[in-house]
Amino acid sequence: MNKDDKNRKNKYMENKEKFKIAIVGILTGLLCGLFASGGGLILVPAFVYIFKQSEKKARAMSVLCILPMVLASLVFYNKAEYIDWKLGIICGIGGIIGGAIGANLMKKINDKYLVLIFIAFLIYASISIWIR
């Protein structure tokens, strides 16, 4: 394989990776806007299984990706007057505290246990929604 062929193959692989990243982002944004979720449900498994990241790095990256999706969704929810700003701000302050505690705890938990805790949370959330 000559140098030009290698460069073309590398460009193809880079473009393929960028395309996968964009598709994951679009799906996550769609779920975020529709269900006010998606970050953990789509991004963490995608980062682990598609992009081969560690559990901890996947969770950290999903938080980074969620911020712009949440802000975009917020604009449209606010425009439709679905936002209770007082309730949201108070809850957001609690979320900042909980997020800091959770991020520090995550550093101390083995990846295997993080997966089990995540599965337990998803089962609990699913049952809670179902029996409402």
Look at 3 and 59; give whichever has higher pLDDT: 59
Burial class (CB in 10 A: 0-12, 13-18, 19+), 62: buried
CB atoms within 10 A of CB 130: 7
Residue 68 is predicted with a pLDDT of 87
Torsion of CA 75, 87, 117, 33, to 10 degrees: -20
Domain boundaries, the chain: 1-82, 84-132
Q: Both tokens of residue 38?
A: 């998606």
Q: Among the residues of the chain, which ranges form H helices?
A: 3-35, 44-45, 55-79, 85-108, 111-130
What is the overall mean pLDDT for the chain? 87
pLDDT, tens only, 25-40: 888 888 777 776 766 7
For residues 73 and 96, give the distance between their C-alpha atoms in angstroms, rounded to a whole number.
19
pTM for the full predicted model: 0.72
